Amino acid sequence: MNKILQGNHQMERKAIILFSLFFLTACTSFPYTGAVPATPTTPEAESEGIEITTTPESEALVIEEDDTPKTLRIWLPPQFDPDTETEASALLKARLEEFQKRRPDLILEIRIKAIEGEASLLNALIATHQAAPSAMPDLVALSRPDLESAVNEGILHPLDGLTMLLDDPDWFPYARPLSHIQNSTYGLPFAANLLGLRYLPSEEYPFFSIENMQEQEAQILLPEDVAQLSFCLYDEAELEEESLTNLLSFYQSDIFSQVAQEKTFEIHWSKDFLDETPADAILSPIPNMDNESCSLASAWLWTLAGSDPDRQPAAVELAEFLSQSDFLAEWTTETGYLAPRPTALTDIAFQELSLVAEPIPSNERVEALAEIFNAATISVLTDQVDPRAAAQEILENLQ
């Protein structure tokens, strides 16, 4: 920059313009000059350009002439904030700093958005896309359900042709399906959340099975949201009376309990398990009606939302850099999520869970089936209707 500022009066004028630009962006660019606001701004404020830094066209021309670094906008949820006092934040911040050293032509601008509410990350994306598309972030971390919603709103760009990373064999089976909507790739998974069965192993029963659970006279506690378990145990893509009847009869069996007792195993998502569970507990796949096993997988993914195609390759480069196995092995351990890549996940129990996990159903299927599954299960468990009649009612409600 010193070389650029040397020279005649015309170059000094450009320096003034550059100083003004960097003053406007300093409070939100990475590395930080201050703490990120804890409370996200509203989508309305975003769309009016109050919080999102924009550059007048005339000044942008000066920047291009002077080869000033381009700003890469990144939106994250609070749990991935790189400016908090946690080990996970420190690791992410160091990784971002390393990337910026590799790419001095870029300035990383980080914004933290809420997960829920009117000012949620998804709502902010929709509002900004409608009112100020030029202010859209280049790279966004989205949960799988929000990714699907954003694609349906037409505000994400496919990754097809921009990255080959998902062609690498180093991904668990659930990862690629979570990345796809229809026939296009929209995200790179980096932090997974898997559904499993929590239990405490003993010397007599070091591993879980239906048989040793029955020998212990233990049961599985039915979760409050039975639909999640149903999506795991049942192939909802093949709805038919006999298999639905078997599922509802399975819930009536002595394998399950509606009341927590001393020997009840619980259904947990891995994020909750790692945040709340004693160190000696294990999260295993869930046994199904055939005494096989199942799990569900959701994830956070890096996605593209920016309106400038010239910045898309840089955004993808950063997403790939943040998805490398060596980094995920260390970072996801600190976040409480699971790495979606086998070489980044060393825990044997989590590897087993990851190998059998299936992607969570689409938003549309969850909306269509969740309430119906829950209602039918409650009816069966309270003896209001037998399993076959409840199965028939499910199919009738779907017609």
pLDDT in tens, 249-280: 999 999 999 998 888 899 999 999 999 877 78
5-55 pLDDT, tens digit each: 333 433 333 333 333 333 333 333 333 323 333 334 434 333 333 233 333
Distance CA 378, CA 390 (A): 10
Kindly tell me if the per-residue pLDDT of 282 is higher than 80. Answer: yes
Q: pLDDT value at position 343?
A: 98
Q: What is the pLDDT of residue 384?
A: 86
Grade residue 383 by pLDDT with cuts at 50, 70 and 90.
confident
pLDDT above 70 (res 77): yes
Domains, in order of start, for the chain: 40-52+67-190+302-349 (3.40.190.10), 219-262+362-399 (no CATH)
Return mean pLDDT, the chain.
Answer: 84
| Residues 321-335: tens digit of each pLDDT | 999 999 999 999 999
Sequence-ordered list of residues with C-beta below 8 angstroms from that of 388, at least 6 positions apart, any chain: 241, 245
pLDDT, tens only, 226-237: 999 999 999 877
Report d(CA 368, CA 374) in Å as an integer.
Answer: 12
Helix or strand or coil: residue 388?
helix
Of how many residues is the chain composed? 399
H-helix segments, 286-381 = 312-321, 325-335, 348-356, 363-381
